[in-house]
């Protein structure tokens, strides 16, 4: 007599191998959990909100009666409070972008991350998605709140915040885009350098030091180079009437290209290096 083999079923409480299948969505979810449970994330995103809204309120409240002419000059005055905090905001988000990856290198957690995702590329792209989306959302909410607090100060004046004005609307949209691109740039430097201090120094140097230095050297070709550095090119998106460099949207694309290229180089090197 032969015994009929019965199909075995998983024991109660066990999971089938397919349950552990790594998908990009699950990698993003994992990176989001790590991102939101780190204390530095709360502090940096909170500081971004405070800086953008607080400086907008301060500038709007101290704006007197400028001798503004028609056209872009009025729009420039109207948007000044909205962009007042972008300098500090990009510093804060540069720290956030860098720490998102360098924190894992310093603690050794990166080895667990790359063990779970052996190809490494999806994990790094997932980090970029989380950093970009979080930075954009917080900056967008902050900018909208800034618009709300600034509007009463300028209501009824020639430089009122009129979102029907294409230039003003571009600046309102541009602030979160610019800050999110800065966070991507910092993340890219973090992957390349793998040191918190080094990555933060590199992005701040490129954004706030190298550009202004080259722009102020009386050599024409150096000035042209400065116009296409990430911060200088991206800031044209926040300027009503840029006097030099690329037009606002092409300038923003230049800034994004910097971040994407550096991020791509970082991913390539991360796949070659030991964790």
Please check whether residue 239 is in contact with residue 230, taking contact to mean a CB–CB distance below 8 angstroms: no
Q: Which of 68-72, 116-120, 270-274 has the highest mean pLDDT?
A: 116-120
Query: pLDDT per residue over 102-144, tens digit each?
Result: 999 999 999 999 999 999 999 999 999 999 999 999 999 999 9
Query: pLDDT per residue over 138-197, tens digit each?
Result: 999 999 999 999 999 888 777 788 888 899 999 999 999 999 999 999 999 999 999 999
* 56 assigned to some structural domain: yes
pLDDT of 67:
53
d(CA 174, CA 234): 9
Query: pLDDT per residue over 202-235, tens digit each?
Result: 999 888 888 888 878 888 888 888 889 998 899 9
Query: pLDDT per residue over 43-67, tens digit each?
Result: 999 999 999 999 999 998 887 555 5
pLDDT at 20 over 90: no
What SS3 state is found at 69? coil
Which residues fall within 8 angstroms of residue 125, CB to CB, at 6 or more apart? 24, 267
* 106 assigned to some structural domain: yes
* 223 assigned to some structural domain: yes
pLDDT of 220:
84
* 241 assigned to some structural domain: yes
* 139 assigned to some structural domain: yes
**What is the domain extent for residue 74?**
23-61+70-272
pLDDT of 17:
44
170-173-179 Cα angle (round to 5): 120
3-state SS record for 164-181? CCHHHHHHHHHHHHHHHH
* 14 assigned to some structural domain: no
Joined tokens for residue 216: 């102020």
pLDDT of 275:
67
d(CA 3, CA 23): 41
pLDDT of 27:
95
Backbone angles phi, psi at 242, to 5 degrees: -60, 135
* 7 assigned to some structural domain: no
What SS3 state is found at 64? coil
pLDDT of 51:
96
How many domains does the chain contain in total? 1
* 105 assigned to some structural domain: yes
Give the least confident one: 10-24, 83-97, 121-135, 243-257: 10-24
């Amino acid at each position: 007599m032969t015994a009929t083999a019965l199909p075995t079923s998983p024991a109660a409480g066990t999971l089938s191998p397919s349950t552990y299948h790594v998908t990009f969505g699950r990698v993003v979810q994992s990176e989001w959990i790590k991102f939101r449970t780190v204390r530095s994330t709360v502090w940096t995103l909170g500081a971004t909100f405070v800086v953008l809204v607080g400086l907008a309120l301060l500038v709007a409240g101290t704006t007197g009666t400028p001798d503004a002419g028609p056209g872009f000059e009025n729009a420039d005055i109207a948007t000044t409070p909205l962009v007042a905090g972008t300098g500090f905001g990009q510093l804060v988000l540069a720290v956030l972008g860098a720490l998102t990856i360098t924190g894992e290198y310093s603690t050794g957690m990166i080895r667990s991350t790359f063990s779970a995702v052996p190809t490494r590329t999806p994990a790094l792209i997932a980090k970029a998605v989380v950093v970009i989306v979080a930075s954009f959302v917080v900056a967008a909410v902050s900018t909208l709140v800034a618009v709300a607090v600034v509007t009463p100060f300028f209501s009824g004046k020639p430089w009122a915040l009129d979102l029907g004005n294409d230039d003003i609307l571009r600046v309102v949209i541009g602030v979160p885009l610019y800050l999110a691109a800065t966070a991507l740039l910092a993340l890219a430097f973090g992957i390349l350098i793998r040191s918190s201090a080094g990555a933060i120094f590199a992005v701040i140097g490129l954004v706030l030091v190298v550009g202004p230095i080259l722009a102020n050297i009386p050599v024409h070709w150096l000035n042209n180079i400065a116009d296409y550095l990430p911060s200088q090119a991206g800031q044209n998106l926040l300027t009503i009437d840029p006097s030099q460099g690329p037009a606002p949207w092409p300038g923003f694309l230049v800034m994004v290209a910097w971040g994407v290229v550096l991020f791509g180089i970082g991913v390539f090197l991360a796949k070659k290096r030991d964790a």
